[in-house]
Structure formats: structure tokens, C-alpha cells
Chain A
């Protein structure tokens, strides 16, 4: 018995040592354009996010030991794919803003930094005070301009274009979801004033969704439930009245835990502008949807707090 234990232990040690030679490449990529932010804001982001969300990854000695290294390398690769502060220049100003608000929301909802990562890397944790600094910074970047002429013009242009618009075929998203024009007949289940990006939204639910709300069966939502979220520019006048400007997009979430098993049971689609252009470069656009909705995993991935009518 003792001999067997000895052999087993030696085998384990040899295996662990050999594992050290398998090292997936995480790459030391260049910094094309680093995030620009006030020093106190940037210090928090560098400390909490940069190991996985930049090309300036700082691995500790214990990160480099296999099999831990495999997991760390995968975190870093995934992290950079979703958000990379070292290639900040590659994003449009709108996308930069969007990414920052999303990042702070991920932190606030407890989805980031990943719990197992923050447990070992205690310096990655974001305290309440840190979070307040980040939120204050973002609030300071919100500027609502009354009578924004560019936005007024954008609306006017869409009104003019509407007359000669005659779409024959319904557009289809890259993951095979056909645009549902009927959403306009559905019940409103909420609205959202998105001051982070200057839009306002109306969220509709189909009959299945509305029935589920009435019966309090919304976690998980039943198969067949569909939401549509329509978004417009916010147009503000000098008295603080905000009305809908140019139509931005309509997004759908369709619940089907078999058909859409791979995307957490939901089919995601987004159609942009009055031309209803399907969003995304390829079918992998859903990775963006999933990653943003991930903090809502205890609510069946739904952000909306539905209203009963």
C-alpha cells in the first residue's frame, strides 16, 4: 500500500512538472492607443481591469504555474476580446463611451472582476469608494444639449425619407431571426431613459410575456416570450421636455431554451435605423449580447423590470 502511494505521488509530481512545459501563448501585444482618463479613474481601471483587459498584462508568479496558467491565459484572451484598453484608439468615441458605462455596470452588478480571479488577486477588487469615483466620472461626461440641431436634423431626415420607404422583404439577423413588425401592437412593459448614451426606449412584450408578468412567472421566462426594445435619440427643448428624435434601432429577445440553448435560452437580434439593418459583422455578434446580459444571470438574463398593465 505504502509503495502504491509513493508511485502515485511520484506520478503526480512528474505530471505537474511536465505540465509546466505546455504554455499557451497570451502574447505581448503592442499598445496602439491607451485609455485616456483622469489619473484617479485610470489608476482604478489599471489596477482592477488591465491584467485581462489590456495588452499590459502583469502575471504574478502563481499565475504562471500550470494548471492555473491555462485558466489565466484563457481569461486574458477572452478579456481582451471583449474589452481592450490598449487598443482604445480603435474604437469610435461612441463605442468608447458605451464600453466604459458597460464596464462600470459590470462592476456594480458584481459580474466583474470575475469572482474567482478577484479572490486570488485581491488588488483587482473594486471597493465601494472606487466604484463611486468611476460613477462620478461617468456622470460628469453626460451633457444634455437643448435644441441639438444635429439631432433635430436627423429626425427631420427620417421623417422625409419615410414617405418613399417601401420595404418588401422583412430583414433577417445574422443568427436567423426575422424582424417582427407586429411588436408595435404589443403591450408596453417598461420605458428606459438612457442618459448614458442620449437615447430613450420603449420596451414591448408579446402576449406570452404579458401573461407571464400577470402570473408572476418571469424567472425563468416561458418559451415563446418575446421582448422588443425600440430606441430613439432624446430631443430636449429649453424647458426640459424630451421627445423622441431619430429612430435608432429595435432589439428583440426571443425565449426558446432549446433553439437558443447556446445563447442562454434567448435569441438576440438588433435592427438599426429605419432601414432595419441587421446588426453585427457575423453570427458571433451574439457574444456581445451575452457578455452585456451576463450580470443578469439570476434574472434569466433580462434587465427590464416589467410593469403590469
Chain B
């Protein structure tokens, strides 16, 4: 009897099952989003590569401007005049929609690098922005290492 009752309840439940859609605020990855003031989308830079640090559990995307993309694959260890890069790094978080995936979590930093020539000397303009609000950092310690790190990145294979 209980079975029959259950079956009839199910029949009603299937007819009436209706769940509200998830709101956009819950779906947009707020903590990984960049502040509007940074205007990354207006730079129109394209992805060079993405990488992960499995020890720090961070994930990064390296973008480059047209100049970078026109000479990808060529020797660019020292950078070339006119190149412009942006490197964005996030802390990873578990993907609530897929067990087996990690997605960007808290925004850690954005770094910008431009390469210019001045009197046949290569000049690097490097700047780091930190935290959720991407606050400009005045401290320049370790900048040379970061410049080398950015320039050393190989491009992802993209057909």
C-alpha cells in the first residue's frame, strides 16, 4: 500500500516539479572578477598561455598584445620593443559544478610589462597590482625576476 501511495505521490510530483533558476549573482565568479577600473578587456590582449602552480594552488593567464603575437615562437628571451604583457594570477578553488576541477578563486595579482627601446637599449616597464582591488605596488623588489619569468613563458599550442 505504501508503495502505491509513493507511486501516486511521484506522479503528482513530476507534474508539479518546478525549481527557480539560479540567480546571476550566484553564478558570476565574483571573487575572481577583476575590478572594472583595471580595464583589462579594453587592452584587447590575447592569451599567450595559461599555467598552474600545484604547490601554491594558483592559476594564471598570460596575455600579450599584437606585437607579442606577431613574433611568437621566435626568440624573444629578452623581449622586443613594442611588446606588452599582462599576467593575472588567482588562488584556485574547487569547482562547485564539477567534482574533479579547480577554477579561479580569490584574485591575487595582475602584473603588466611593456618593452621599449631607448637609444638602442631595451627598457622594461614592470608594474605589479595586488589583491582584490588590484592596488598598485610601489615595492620594486624582485621585479627583474618577474620580467625574466614573463618573458620565459612559452606560448600554448593553438591551432
User: A: which residues have CB within 8 A of B?
Assistant: 62, 68, 101, 104-105, 108-109, 115-116, 119-120, 135, 138, 144, 155, 158-159, 162, 165, 167, 184-185, 187-188, 190-197, 200, 202, 204, 210, 213, 216-220, 230, 232, 234, 236, 239-244, 246-247, 250, 274-276, 295-296, 298-300, 302-309
Contact = CB atoms under 8 A, between A and B. Distances in A.
Nearest to A195: B100
B159 A303 contact: no
A187 B99 CA distance: 25
Given A116-B10, A190-B29, A240-B53, A138 B100 contact: yes
B157 A274 contact: yes
B7 A120 contact: yes
Contact of B97 (A109, A210, A218, A275): A109
7 contacts: A104-B99, A105-B98, A165-B159, A192-B102, A193-B101, A217-B24, A307-B34
Given A105-B100, A299-B27, A62 B159 contact: no
Nearest to B11: A116
Given A184-B158, A247-B157, A298-B21, A195 B6 contact: no
A298 B55 CA distance: 35
Contacts of A119: 6, 9-10, 13
Scoring B25, B28, B36, B55 by chain A CB atoms within 10 A of each residue's CB, the highest score goes to: B28
Nearest to B159: A274
B32 interface: yes
Contacts of A158: 157
Contact of B159 (A144, A218, A276): A276
A240 B99 contact: no
Contacts of B76: none
B156 interface: yes
Contacts of B21: 219-220, 298-300
Interface residues of B, number: 54
Given A119-B10, A202-B61, A216-B25, A239 B55 contact: yes
B95 interface: yes
Given A307-B34, A308-B33, 8 more contacts: A101-B99, A193-B52, A230-B156, A240-B55, A243-B51, A299-B21, A306-B29, A309-B40
Nearest to B24: A216
A305 B101 contact: no
Interface string B42-53: 001011011111
B157 A303 contact: no
A303 B98 contact: yes
Contacts of B32: 190, 305, 307
A71 B1 CA distance: 20
Interface of B: 3-4, 6-7, 9-10, 13-14, 17, 19-25, 27-29, 32-34, 36, 40-41, 44, 46-47, 49-56, 59, 61, 92, 95-104, 154, 156-159
Contact of A234 (B52, B101, B104): B52
Contacts of A197: 100
Nearest to A299: B22
B99 A135 contact: yes
A202 B28 contact: no
Contacts of A194: 98, 100-101
B118 to A, nearest CB: 31
B41 A309 contact: yes
A247 B159 contact: yes
A230 B51 contact: no
A62 B7 contact: yes
B97 A305 contact: yes
A171 to B, nearest CB: 10
Contact of B7 (A68, A162, A236): A68
Contacts of B156: 230, 232, 244, 247
B129 to A, nearest CB: 14
A243 B49 contact: yes
A184 B46 contact: yes
Contact of B28 (A68, A274, A308): A308
